[in-house]
Amino acid sequence: MKLVSTYRFAPEQLEEMNTLGLEVKQYGSEQELVDSKEYADADIIIANHRTLQQDFLEQCDKVRWVQVAHIGIERLPMDYLKERGVIVINARGAMGVPISEDILCKMLMLVRQSAVVMKNQFDHAWKKAGPVRNLSGKTAGIIGTGDVGTETAVRARAFGMKTIGINTDGRELPEFDAIYTPEQINEVLAQSDFNILTLPLTEQTANLIDKEQFAVMKPDSYLINISRGALINEEVLLDSLQNRKIAGAALDVFVEEFKHGYLPEESPFWKLDNIIITPHYAGAGDGFGARFSSVFMENLGHFVAGRMSEMVNVRQFGKGY
């Protein structure tokens, strides 16, 4: 059995794989993997969504399990993978901690005027930045109550915030003070000081935040998006920020960034002074490897033993996430 991977495992994990009879080939980049041609006879492939496309997979005669070290799967050729009976697994459960910490960081940066503070420091200017607000007593509206959303709610509560959320069926969760259904999104947006998007991109959620939704937001509220740029109508977002219809935003993702792998220099978002831009790295952190590897190794044991039904984080075809 053979594994090719652009995710690099620790030596002790490689040793354990060897005891399971697994041949492992690791690569430093997606391009290195593609150039190697070693993937053609692999049973398991760990790579990103840009690599795991149909033209690549058609060259992989033996593949039975594809794994991505990220959450989003909307760009994977799921119909083709279903037709071939290939197991698809993502990094669900490994991202909640780093992304929720990133969200809290962004919230604090926005209310504490951190961008202005740092500019003053670089300019050697002893000036106060204001107005400064507190998180305590504010409401965090978390659109998507999965692993990331729930971990965010836990941390927001630690700052004395009220937590409200949206999930597909309105089921109550102990980390939230109130839960709403997707049909009640405007109600959530209208009462939240921070509107936080932690849900996948599907046909149902594309342009979820549009003109109607921006119209009900508080003028002193903030929008945070660490999921996918296409959840928001970016033309309306840009207008809302330029004309101060909302106080500001913190964005880790953009439509153009998702297309190119970066936000082009000519993007008008770079010119805004009420925005925090980060390069799609909300999930970064020194604990990711341990969480991801632990789940992968557990799944690998089940896979080698033929217990596929016991594997976790297996994505369901047709859901889009």
pLDDT at residue number 161 = 98
The CATH architecture of the domain made up of 96-277 is 3-Layer(aba) Sandwich (3.40)
Binned at pLDDT 50, 70 and 90, residue 188 comes out as: very high
> Residue by residue, what is the 3-state secondary structure of 114-174?
HHHHHHHHHCCCCCCCCCCCCCCCCEEEEECCCHHHHHHHHHHHHCCCEEEEECCCCCCCC
Whole-angstrom Cα distance, residue 186 to residue 10? 46
How large is the angle between the packed helices 288-304 and 11-19, nearest 10 degrees?
0
Binned at pLDDT 50, 70 and 90, residue 318 comes out as: confident
Report how far apart, in Å, the C-alpha atoms of 54 and of each of 51, 59, 77 are. Answer: 9, 9, 6
Residue 283 · residue 99 · CB < 8 Å: yes
The residues with which 124 forms a beta bridge, in sequence order, are none
**How much is the average pLDDT of 142-153?**
97
Whole-angstrom Cα distance, residue 109 to residue 249? 10
Q: How far apart, in Å, do the first and last CA atoms of the chain sit?
A: 28
Residue ranges of the chain that CATH labels 3.40.50.720: 2-94+286-310, 96-277
Report how far apart, in Å, the C-alpha atoms of 37 and of each of 12, 59, 67, 237, 287 are. Answer: 26, 9, 18, 43, 31
pLDDT digits over 72-93, tens only? 899 999 999 999 999 999 999 8
Report how far apart, in Å, the C-alpha atoms of 321 and of each of 88, 126, 153, 201, 310 are. Answer: 11, 48, 21, 8, 19
Residue 195 · residue 222 · CB < 8 Å: yes
pLDDT at residue number 233 = 98
Backbone angles phi, psi at 272, to 5 degrees: -80, 145
**How much is the average pLDDT of 130-147?**
96
Q: What is the CATH number of domain 2-94+286-310?
A: 3.40.50.720
- Percent over 70 (pLDDT), the chain: 100
Whole-angstrom Cα distance, residue 72 to residue 201? 8
**What's the pTM value of the predicted model, to 2 decimals?**
0.90
Q: Which two tokens stand for residue 229?
A: 């740029």
HSE-CB at 155 with a 13 A cutoff on CA atoms is 20
pLDDT digits over 84-123, tens only? 999 999 999 899 999 999 999 999 999 999 999 999 999 9
pLDDT digits over 156-185, tens only? 999 999 999 999 999 999 999 999 999 999
Residue 312 · residue 298 · CB < 8 Å: yes
**How much is the average pLDDT of 17-36?**
96
Whole-angstrom Cα distance, residue 301 to residue 124? 57
Q: If you write DSSP's letter for every residue of 51-115 in order, what string do you get? A: TSSHHHHTT-SS--EEE-SSS--TTS-HHHHHHHT-EEE--TTSSHHHHHHHHHHHHHHHHTTHH
Residue 200 · residue 227 · CB < 8 Å: yes
Q: Is the pLDDT of residue 292 over 80?
A: yes
pLDDT at residue number 78 = 96
Q: Is the pLDDT of residue 321 over 90?
A: no
User: For all residues of the chain together, what is the average pLDDT?
Assistant: 96
Bridge-based pairing of strands 2-5 and 44-46 is: parallel
Cβ-based neighbour number of residue 260 at 10 Å: 10
Q: Is the pLDDT of residue 320 over 80?
A: no
The residues with which 196 forms a beta bridge, in sequence order, are 142, 224
Residue 36 · residue 28 · CB < 8 Å: no
pLDDT digits over 215-250, tens only? 999 999 999 999 999 999 999 999 999 999 999 999
